[in-house]
């Protein structure tokens, strides 16, 4: 047969070994392996193919490469580790079986599994009983350390001490919550938790994600429901009113619907809150409103109102703050918008967190007392 044909057959035969070596149980360790263990093989020249003899079987050798094993713990029942621990303590299969309330055959089968796993006898029979090998002693030493860590984890309890804590609480809040919340909250914290810091974050549409991730501890304000996975608690009730400067030339003690539609308005656009209820109420009742200025926050409204003839629809709590700080008066709306509640929201992941629960309690005390 021509040499080229012979060598081609050799390559084809070797490729078959590539595909079938794993099924045949080829192993470079002992020459045998469990038939079901899968391996991947490499085909490498045994020597220079030009100098090879006519025997094509020597042209290549098969070098099996075992596939990566899964993590050891994935294949071991942790109850087996309790068996070798008890066997080490009693030095007796029968006594270990009695103490663990299992059969001696279960002890023997479990020990056989562990011997295969560790590739070590682990325990050998001696004149004084079942004695551990050096490998078993090393494993048992690690197991005792692991047992201590597990016990510590099971007994661990998170403790929060507000008097000594220097934790930073991140709170998403609307402008209204800042008016009504901050002064009273900081006065309370000064006495109850002097080391605590509060970091305020503006309300946006990403509030649910921030609460879920823990980047924010609480969200406080007039915020639409966030759905499943979130808790909420009412803090206080509020309603919308009209705010104008006290010396307004056309508005005295009453705001009529006709006057409301004729006046020029100052409006606030806040994303992520429930204040869109005002726009929806106007659209539903087909009430026209001429807008002269839009601002992104309630914080700067007071000086603008005090120095113009604008009309603004604002939450009553904010309006009262304006009335105390500037020459502004509040009037009832000429149409009905249902009252609403300022709520505090948090994610269920932190419902039992001691620090989060304490902070929620502080906020609730401020408004529910």
| pLDDT at residue 324, as a whole number | 87
Structural domain contains residue 217 = yes
DSSP 298: S
DSSP 21-82: HHHHT--SSSS---TT--EEEEEEESS-GGG--S-GGGSEEEEEEEPPPPPGGGGS-HHHHH
**Mean confidence (pLDDT) of the chain:** 79
266, 322: one domain = yes
Number of H helices, E strands in the chain: 12, 14
225, 262: one domain = no
Q: Are 81 and 143 in contact (CB under 8 A)?
A: yes
Full domain range(s) for residue 179: 168-236+342-368
Beta strands in the chain (DSSP E): 39-45, 60-66, 123-126, 129-132, 168-173, 197-202, 218-221, 230-238, 240-245, 264-268, 290-295, 312-315, 328-331, 340-347
| pLDDT at residue 297, as a whole number | 83
Q: Which residue has the higher pLDDT, 239 or 143?
A: 239
Q: What is the per-residue pLDDT across 158-183, written as a single tens digit (0 to 9) for each?
A: 789 999 999 999 999 877 777 778 88
| pLDDT at residue 178, as a whole number | 76
| pLDDT at residue 73, as a whole number | 53
Angstrom distance (rounded) from CA 217 to CA 179: 19
Q: Which residue has the tokens 């409103």?
A: 289
Helix axis angle, 354-368 relative to 175-192, nearest 10°?
110
245, 224: one domain = no
What percentage of the chain carries pLDDT values higher than 70?
78
Arithmetic mean of pLDDT, 304-330: 92
Structural domain contains residue 136 = yes
Arithmetic mean of pLDDT, 210-239: 91
- Any residues with CB less than 8 A from the CB of 266 and at least 6 apart, and which? 291, 292, 293, 294, 295, 301, 304, 305, 308, 310, 311, 312
46, 100: one domain = no
Q: Which residue has the higher pLDDT, 153 or 258?
A: 258
DSSP 286: T
């Amino acid at each position: 047969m021509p040499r080229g044909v012979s060598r081609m057959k050799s390559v084809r035969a070797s490729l078959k070994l590539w595909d079938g070596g794993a099924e045949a149980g080829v192993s470079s360790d002992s020459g045998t392996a469990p038939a079901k263990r899968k391996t991947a093989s490499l085909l490498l020249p045994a020597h220079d193919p030009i100098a090879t003899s006519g025997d094509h079987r020597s042209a290549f050798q098969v070098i099996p490469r075992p596939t990566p094993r899964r993590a050891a713990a994935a294949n071991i029942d942790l109850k087996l580790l309790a068996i070798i621990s008890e066997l080490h303590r009693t030095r007796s299969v029968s006594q270990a079986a009695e103490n663990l309330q299992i059969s001696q055959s279960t002890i023997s089968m479990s020990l056989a599994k562990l011997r295969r796993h560790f590739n070590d006898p682990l325990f050998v029979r001696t004149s004084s009983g079942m004695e551990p090998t050096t490998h078993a002693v090393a494993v048992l030493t690690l197991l005792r350390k692991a047992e201590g860590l597990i016990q510590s984890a099971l007994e661990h309890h998170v403790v929060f001490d507000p008097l000594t804590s220097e934790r930073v609480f991140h709170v998403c809040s609307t402008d209204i919550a800042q008016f009504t919340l901050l002064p009273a909250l900081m006065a309370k914290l000064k006495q109850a938790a002097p080391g605590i810091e509060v970091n305020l974050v503006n309300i946006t549409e990403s509030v649910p994600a921030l609460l879920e991730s823990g980047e924010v501890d609480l969200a406080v304000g007039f915020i639409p429901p966030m759905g499943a996975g979130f808790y909420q608690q009412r803090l206080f009730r509020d309603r919308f009113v009209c705010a104008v400067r006290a010396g307004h030339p056309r508005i005295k003690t009453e705001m009529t619907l006709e006057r409301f539609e004729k006046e020029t308005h100052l409006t606030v656009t806040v994303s992520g809150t429930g204040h869109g209820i005002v726009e929806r109420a106007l659209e539903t009742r087909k009430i026209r409103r001429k807008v002269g200025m839009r601002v992104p926050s309630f914080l700067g409204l007071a000086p603008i109102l005090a120095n113009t003839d604008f009309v603004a629809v604002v939450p009553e709590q904010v309006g009262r703050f304006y009335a105390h700080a500037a020459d502004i008066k509040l009037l009832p709306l000429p149409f009905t918008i249902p009252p609403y509640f300022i709520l505090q929201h948090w994610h269920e992941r932190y419902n039992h967190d001691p620090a989060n629960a304490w902070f929620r309690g502080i906020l609730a005390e401020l408004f529910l007392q």
